[in-house]
Amino acid sequence: MLLVLICHLLLTINSVSTQSRLYGPGLRASFQVPVRYFYLESHDLKGNKLNYSSERVDRIEFHLTRSSDQHSAHSYRKVDDLHDGTYLFRFRLYESVENLQLFIRFGKEDINYVIKGYLYSDGCYCPQTNITQWFDSLECSSALSTTQLRADLKLFDKIDMNTIIPKAKEKYFQHPQTYALCHYVIKDNTIYRKCHGEHVGFKMFSDAILLSLSRKVVLPDVEFLMNLGDYPLSSGDDPLPIISWCGSEQTYDIILPTYDITEATLQMLSRTSLDIFAMLTTRDVPWSKKNPKGFFRGRDSCRERLDLVRLSKKHPDLIDANLTRMFFFRDQISEFQPFSEQVPMNKFFDYKYQISLDGTVASYRFPYLLAGDGLIFKQASSFYEHFYRDLAPNQHYIPIKKDLSDLIEKLQWAKKHDEEAQKIVKRSQRFTRQNLLPNHILCYHVNVLQEYAKRLISPVQVLPDMELVQHESDESHIKKDECICHRSKSLNHIDL
Ligand SMILES: *[C@@H]1O[C@H](CO)[C@@H](O)[C@H](O)[C@H]1NC(C)=O
Ligand SMILES: *[C@@H]1O[C@H](CO)[C@@H](O)[C@H](O)[C@H]1NC(C)=O
Ligand SMILES: *[C@@H]1O[C@H](CO)[C@@H](O)[C@H](O)[C@H]1NC(C)=O
């Protein structure tokens, strides 16, 4: 509230004709996510909120300067149009700054704003010691859904690693060709692990998020098994509390956000270009001009993907589906050649209807489809990600049978009920804004670690054969992060 007031004050001071309003979490220093974000709401001269784009993004100026010396802050910045009169401003800082000054030129308006306090770059080791305060500063305390986590932890009231590790050895570690798991220990906010399996390359994803979190908040001491494979593992009469990226109705794994959406959160505006915001701002084709067909491109990672392409040949007026590659069903290759080109995700939304089929497990593109401007037809599946429980069929997407037998009928329904279809799309986009933005992804991880740690009854000990997981000294690949942490005095007890 105070910030909004200050914002208004600054706007009034700077120019009388100013009509825009800034709002959003990125205007607070303590909202520390890899890429900070806030919004500009445009108004007309009478002060009414505009509901259409009045300015082209390439004409909007956006600069960041340090208050201390008025030099520009080392950062990467991006402005996107949300197509409803609001604009999304994002920036990734490569240095720590106290009292960061924003300057925005929007049409004839010059907007100045100062973010008070210390802003740390993502690479800066400067963890907040109080987890509760960290959740508050990320606006997670009330907003974060724990539906899935509560269900996952039901079976695991007391977790004793002294009995779990020997069982895991027998069940998993002894089969290195089949399973890939890392045994992680977090002690004094330092991360250690020992991995088991022949293909443990995906540890780079679990390492990256744990390191990133430990730079932001002091994590609880905790010890757990992280499954690096596609398939959830925890099964049988005596299931182990294994942490995985994907769940299924037949297994009991504790689910984290997938490595895909987590990586997109950590590497936003850097190594990755696909993220929730990129999909929320894609509006290349207005709804009425979109091709009213069900769209699909992908590889042959489950049988129904082949069936969908066959269906598309029978109903080319309703479905445009092709494979881009074949790997699993090579014996049927001749039927599907020539393959179609890979289509970038934003081009998916030239079509009104998006068909979402399983991959080998849950299809990790689903969050991006939800964020995009298209109606989703989601195949029934026993696999799920951490947020599926909060989605409702026919509210956020149209459910279709696993064997696709009702797809044609449902596509025809959607064509006849265009208004209802658009409402569902709006609802699913709102869902992604409330559940799948960077703060939600970071908080969900910490929530899992915290709730899991509460249930641990064995002492957390670093084993002699564990490897220390180290912070990369230069994650920015642009310039070494300039990190000045004003909290470092109180962090003295932690081994930096
Ligand atoms: C924008 O607002 C005007 C006036 O309030 C309204 O008539 C119009 O339907 C709105 N357009 C959209 C796309 O919401
Ligand atoms: C952490 O912060 C919360 C909220 O400000 C406070 O109630 C709690 O006592 C703090 N915990 C510790 C250990 O300081
Ligand atoms: C995709 O498949 C449809 C038939 O469903 C076909 O008409 C179209 O040419 C194919 N497109 C590409 C790019 O392969």
- 24 Cβ contact list (under 8 Å, min separation 6): 37, 38, 39
Residue pair 102/112 in contact (Cβ under 8 Å)? The answer is yes
Please compute the mean of the pLDDT values over residues 173-187 and round it to a whole number: 95
Assess whether 338 and 451 both reside in one domain: no
Assess whether 209 and 320 both reside in one domain: no
Assess whether 162 and 90 both reside in one domain: no
Residue 336 banded pLDDT, cuts 50, 70, 90: confident
**Residue 263 falls within a domain, yes or no?**
no
Assess whether 396 and 370 both reside in one domain: yes
pLDDT tens sequence across 361-389 = 888 999 999 999 999 999 999 999 999 99
- 320 Cβ contact list (under 8 Å, min separation 6): 291, 293, 294, 295, 296, 312, 351
Residue 495 banded pLDDT, cuts 50, 70, 90: very low
**Residue 319 falls within a domain, yes or no?**
yes
pLDDT at 1 over 80: no
| Protein residue whose Cα sits closest to atom 13 of ligand 3 | 340
Assess whether 316 and 454 both reside in one domain: no
Q: Which residues are catalytic?
A: 230
pLDDT at 36 over 60: yes
| Protein residue whose Cα sits closest to atom 12 of ligand 2 | 130
Q: Alpha helices of 386-437 — where are they, by DSSP H?
A: 407-416, 418-435
Distance, CA of 174 to CA of 133 (rounded, Å): 42
**Residue 130 falls within a domain, yes or no?**
no
Assess whether 316 and 381 both reside in one domain: yes
Q: Which atom of ligand 2 is nearest to the CA of 131?
A: 1
**Residue 305 falls within a domain, yes or no?**
yes
Specify the number of domains making up the chain.
Answer: 3
Assess whether 368 and 381 both reside in one domain: yes
Residue 10 banded pLDDT, cuts 50, 70, 90: very low
Reduced to 3 states (helix: H, G, I; strand: E, B; else coil), residue 52 is coil
Ligand 2: does its nearest atom lie under 6 Å from the Cβ of 133?
Answer: yes
**Residue 270 falls within a domain, yes or no?**
no
Assess whether 328 and 410 both reside in one domain: yes
**Residue 489 falls within a domain, yes or no?**
no
Q: Which ligand is nearest to the CA of 131?
A: 2
Domain hosting 234: range is: 147-257+438-470
**Residue 347 falls within a domain, yes or no?**
yes
What number of other Cβ atoms are within 10 A of residue 1's Cβ? 5
Query: What dihedral angle (degrees, nearest 10) is formed by the CA atoms of 152, 158, 161, 163?
Result: -110
Assess whether 301 and 249 both reside in one domain: no
Strand boundaries in 107-249, DSSP class E: 109-119, 181-187, 190-196, 222-227, 242-244, 247-248
Give the rounded percent of residues in the chain with a pLDDT score beyond 70.
93
Assess whether 47 and 165 both reside in one domain: no
Q: Which atom of ligand 3 is nearest to the CA of 316?
A: 5
**Residue 377 falls within a domain, yes or no?**
yes
Give the rounded percent of residues in the chain with a pLDDT score beyond 90.
79
Q: What is the pLDDT of residue 19?
A: 81
pLDDT tens sequence across 344-358 = 999 999 999 999 999
Best probe residue, ligand 2, of 130, 136, 493 (max atoms within 8 Å of C-beta): 130
- What are 377's strand-pairing partners? 355, 398
DSSP string, 232-256: ----SSS---EEES-EETT--PEE-
